[in-house]
Chains A and B, each alone.
Chain A
Amino acid sequence: MSYWTLSITLIFVALPLLLSKTLNLGLERDTMVATIRSIIQLLAVGYILKFVFDSESLMYIFLMVTLMIVAATHNAQKKGAAIRGIVWKVAATLVFVEVLTQSVLLGFGITPPTAQYIISISGMVIGNSMVLSILFLNRFTAEVEAHQDETELVLSLGGTPKQAIHTQLMHSIKASMIPTIESQKTVGLVQLPGMMSGQIIAGADPIQAVQFQLLIMFLLLTTAAVTSIMLGFLSYPTLFNQRMQLLKN
């Protein structure tokens, strides 16, 4: 696609801008900022990826993945500001998910150890893990706040912090995983996944594209489960002190 053709697609930006202005939605500024940011960020990433792919240097691959984890951690930790040490908890979760998934993919020779595969798949895994972290932290913070009485009830009857927070923790883990599972139920029926569509548009064999998409979907299931559960079990102890008392903000 040429830059001229790409610029014509700005019609799809102009349309919502026009609608927002007409209906007084007040979204013009945000839409403009989002558009400009996405153009700059994606073009920058495109050039960086081209450089890294051409160089085939392990150090650059490592740097790219680290950068992704740092950016994802920075974004996700904001939702868990009430939880002590949330930054390293999110970072540890993202690193673990990345190491786990890449170990299986590279260890079994499912994907080749090239920058093209490692960085692309890492982006999907870390991005998904970040969204899961945000969903989990949002829900968990709300559950803890709304059910302080029940938590204190279990503690007052001689329960441990783990017993006291168990219901809220399980609800939050489940709630954060549901969107991933639900979207996979309707995949292919309601929507064609972006990556698969992209490959097909780029001329790949549809069966090959489907195979890769299945790989990514299975990967994202693990990502969802491991992210929510690991972050949950790392987070809940910080809500209590050594005397098994609920710390209130």
Chain B
Amino acid sequence: MSIDYKPAVHFNHVSYTIGENQILRSITGSFPEGRITTLVGPSGAGKTTLLKLCNGLLSPTMGELYVQGQLIESYEPTELRRLVGIALQSAPMISGTVYDNLALPMVLQSKKFSKEAGRRLLRDVGLEEEFLQRKINDLSGGQRQKVSIARTLVNQPNILLLDEITSSLDRTSQKEIEELIVAINRKYGTTIIWITHNLQQALEIGYFTWVMMDGEVVETGRSELLKSPATDKARNFIKGGAV
């Protein structure tokens, strides 16, 4: 892929293997800074593994991975994970209130997190201020996902990784989250890397797209490629997804 943008994350022949099982095969490519890139592909293509490599929850077994121009190994793991935030599909929460969850990234650094900061974050993600004292178990799927995104934003990450965060939500909640992510990207210039099964969503929201299959990147480029892919593999996958 020829990109005229500065890469936020760059893969240079990155592979990831567990035992005999090769999850990612010699991935090369970049995610441009300040843009929304979507990752599409069938289940088991290695998309989640690729995200977890970006914020150091996993390490490549071969190849080099650069984050903001620096080799990923040169970062302290805790520093890297604050720089590259991740929100997961399951939106895992610690028990307690919304405030407890929003305060978690600061508590981990032994810093204070004010109620006002919590209310501001809730407004940013489109939730009422009174949610701050709500019990986590009383939230709907969409609300939970918004809290998960807000919690990731507490660390003010330069890069935000999203793993199928809308796949289990209804259409209204999906739309709200999409608008929220676009707003975050515009307001803070955050680089977004978003795994989605929804090809229409990838086409509408994503500026760039990576199509992945069987641990390989089969096609990359501007999201319009989803309308007319150049490779047979991508074409067959997209035909199944009916963009």
Size of the chain B interface, CB-CB below 8 angstroms: 25
Inter-subunit contact A158/B79 (CB<8 Å): yes
Q: How far is the CB of B57 from chain A (nearest CB, A)?
A: 6
Specify the chain B residue showing the minimal Cβ separation from A149: B92
Inter-subunit contact B59/A154 (CB<8 Å): no
Question: Which of these binds chain A: B103-111, B117-125, B169-177?
Answer: B103-111
Size of the chain A interface, CB-CB below 8 angstroms: 17
* Given A155-B81, A159-B78, A159-B108, A245 contacting B58 (CB threshold 8 A): yes
- How distant is the Cα of A167 from the Cα of B96 in the complex, in angstroms? 13
Inter-subunit contact B57/A152 (CB<8 Å): yes
- How distant is the Cα of A163 from the Cα of B109 in the complex, in angstroms? 10
Does B82 make an interface contact (CB < 8 A)?
yes
- How distant is the Cα of A156 from the Cα of B55 in the complex, in angstroms? 7
- How distant is the Cα of A153 from the Cα of B56 in the complex, in angstroms? 12
Inter-subunit contact A158/B92 (CB<8 Å): no
B105 contacts which of A150, A157, A245 (Cβ < 8 Å)? A157
Specify the chain A residue showing the minimal Cβ separation from B90: A149
* Given A157-B108, A157-B152, A158-B155, A245 contacting B57 (CB threshold 8 A): yes
Does B10 make an interface contact (CB < 8 A)?
no
Does B86 make an interface contact (CB < 8 A)?
yes
* Given A245-B57, A245-B58, A158 contacting B94 (CB threshold 8 A): no
Inter-subunit contact A156/B58 (CB<8 Å): no
Inter-subunit contact B92/A243 (CB<8 Å): no
Q: How far is the CB of B25 from chain A (nearest CB, A)?
A: 21
- How distant is the Cα of A57 from the Cα of B85 in the complex, in angstroms? 64
Q: Which residues of B contact A246 (CB under 8 A)?
A: 57
Q: A154-181 interface mask toward B, CB cutoff 8 Å, 1 = contact, 0 = none?
A: 1111111001000100000000000000
Q: Which residues of A contact B90 (CB under 8 A)?
A: 149
Measured CB to CB, the residues of A under 8 A from B are 149-150, 152-160, 163, 167, 243-246
> Can you list 12 pairs linking A and B with CB atoms under 8 Å apart?
A152-B57, A153-B92, A157-B81, A157-B104, A157-B152, A157-B155, A158-B108, A160-B108, A163-B108, A243-B59, A243-B73, A245-B58
Other A-B pairs, 19, CB within 8 Å; known A154-B108, A155-B81: A149-B88, A150-B92, A150-B94, A152-B57, A153-B93, A153-B94, A155-B57, A156-B57, A156-B85, A156-B88, A157-B152, A158-B79, A158-B82, A163-B108, A167-B94, A243-B73, A244-B77, A244-B78, A245-B59
